[in-house]
């Protein structure tokens, strides 16, 4: 009876994994079929010479270069805000907070993780309205506001993965540093963080992917069509998710719709590239920590 239930469970696991893989392959196949023919220099730069467009000397009309630059800027800024704060918060909850504070702050983190992205966008937009009515009449939506709202959206993922990675360290490893005379911070830096690095950086990788694909937040915090490359933190910007939404909802012909599918492929490729960069960074950090 036990063997039959084990086989049933293993079969269900294989079926579930195969179903997910099949769904991903079908999605990729559909996007490739509809969008691969539209991927060329014109998709990225329109009628603008590519070198002048890449250097920002001339604006790009009909291409996604500015959306690509805006997405990259948004991901980098939001990651720079969320990742250090998320890792530090996870360390505090596990190693320094009392049980009462950990329970309370953990509830707040869960509440933040359950906040819909459109609500986070409304929160950012409300901040601008409040600033305009008080001491900053010239406040406006832009890249920095969108990055901060995205950072708040991905912060719970980083906190929870950091917390889980540190909680999963066996007790004998936790006692290794104090037994050698290390202080609490030295034990954290030399022993616990290297052991938990894989889980912590995996959470950071997931957060990067989440930051690249959200649309609802940026709709209310500074994204506009044909905004150009953002040269400052308060500039309006364009992003690939918004570009896809715009082309899908407002396309005027089949060519523009196919460009939307091609843009979706570019977004998937950019996300995969960010994941690959984060994985390589993760391995480099692990290697450096292990050699210390």
* Cα–Cα distance measured from residue 268 to residue 273, given in angstroms and rounded to the nearest whole number: 9
Q: What is the pLDDT confidence band of residue 149, given thresholds at 50, 70 and 90?
A: very high
Which of 108-112, 155-159, 187-191, 264-268 is the least confident region? 187-191
Task: Please give the DSSP secondary-structure letter assigned to residue 237.
Answer: B
Residues 14 and 159 in one domain: no
CA angle (189 as vertex; 188, 193 as ends), nearest 5: 70
Are 141 and 62 found together in one domain? Answer: yes
Is it the case that residue 264 has pLDDT exceeding 70?
A: yes
d(CA 69, CA 270): 11
How far apart CA 161 and CA 195 sit, in angstroms, is 13
Residues 67 and 10 occupy one common structural domain = no
Same domain, 30 and 124: no
Query: Domain count of the chain?
Result: 2
Confidence of residue 148 (pLDDT cuts 50, 70, 90): very high
Residues 122 and 209 in one domain: yes
Q: In the predicted model, is pLDDT for residue 44 greater than 90?
A: no
Same domain (yes/no): 14, 133: no
pLDDT at 38 over 70: yes
Lowest mean pLDDT among 14-18, 71-75, 225-229: 225-229
Domain co-membership, 25 together with 138: no
Q: What is the pLDDT of residue 288?
A: 66
Question: Is residue 115 within 8 Å of 153, Cβ to Cβ?
Answer: yes
pLDDT of 242 reads 87
Predicted TM-score of the model (pTM): 0.83
Residue pLDDT, tens place only, 85-104: 999 999 998 888 888 888 89
pLDDT band at residue 218 under the 50/70/90 scheme: confident
165 and 102 inside one domain: yes
DSSP designation for 137: T
Whether 147 and 161 map to the same domain: the answer is: yes
Which residue has tokens 């954290």? 188
Task: Say yes or no: 163 and 19 in one domain.
Answer: no
Taking alpha carbons only, the member of 56, 23, 32, 162 closest to residue 105 is 162
Residue-level pLDDT at 286: 64
Predicted pLDDT of residue 7: 79
Q: Are residues 46 and 25 in the same domain?
A: no
> Is 262 in the same domain as 226?
yes
The boundaries of the domain holding residue 178 are 41-290
User: What confidence tens digit (pLDDT) does each residue in 154-198 have?
Assistant: 999 899 999 888 888 888 877 777 777 777 888 888 888 888 887
Query: What was the pLDDT predicted at 2?
Result: 59
CATH code, domain carrying 244: 1.10.3720.10
Residue-wise pLDDT tens digits, 224-243 = 887 778 888 888 888 888 88
Predicted local confidence at residue 1, as pLDDT: 58
Residue 39, SS3 per DSSP: coil
- Across residues 143-162, what is the average pLDDT? 91
């Amino acid at each position: 009876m036990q063997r039959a239930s084990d086989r049933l469970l293993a079969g269900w696991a294989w079926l579930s994994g195969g179903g997910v893989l099949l769904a991903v392959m079908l999605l990729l196949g559909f996007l490739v079929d509809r969008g691969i023919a539209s991927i060329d220099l014109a998709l990225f730069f329109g009628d603008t010479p590519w070198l002048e467009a890449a250097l920002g000397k001339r604006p790009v009309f009909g291409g996604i270069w500015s959306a690509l630059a805006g997405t990259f800027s948004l991901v980098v800024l939001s990651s720079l805000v969320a990742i250090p704060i998320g890792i530090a918060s996870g360390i505090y909850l596990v190693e320094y907070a009392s049980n009462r504070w950990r329970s309370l702050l953990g509830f707040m983190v869960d509440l933040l993780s359950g906040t819909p992205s459109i609500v986070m966008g409304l929160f950012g937009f409300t901040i601008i309205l409040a600033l305009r009515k008080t001491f900053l009449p010239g406040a406006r939506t832009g890249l920095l506001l969108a990055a901060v709202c995205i950072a708040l959206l991905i912060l719970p993922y980083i906190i929870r993965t950091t917390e889980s990675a540190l909680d999963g360290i066996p007790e004998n490893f936790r006692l290794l540093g104090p037994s050698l005379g290390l202080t609490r911070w030295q034990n954290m830096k030399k022993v616990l963080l290297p052991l938990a690095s894989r889980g912590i950086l995996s959470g950071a990788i997931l957060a990067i992917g989440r930051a690249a694909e959200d649309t609802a937040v940026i709709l209310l915090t500074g994204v506009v069509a044909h905004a150009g490359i953002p040269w400052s933190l308060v500039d309006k910007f364009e992003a690939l998710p918004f570009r896809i939404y715009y082309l899908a909802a407002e396309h005027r012909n089949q060519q523009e719709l196919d460009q939307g599918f091609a843009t979706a492929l570019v977004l998937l490729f950019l996300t995969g590239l960010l994941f690959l960069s984060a994985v390589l960074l993760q391995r480099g950090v692990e290697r450096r920590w292990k050699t210390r």
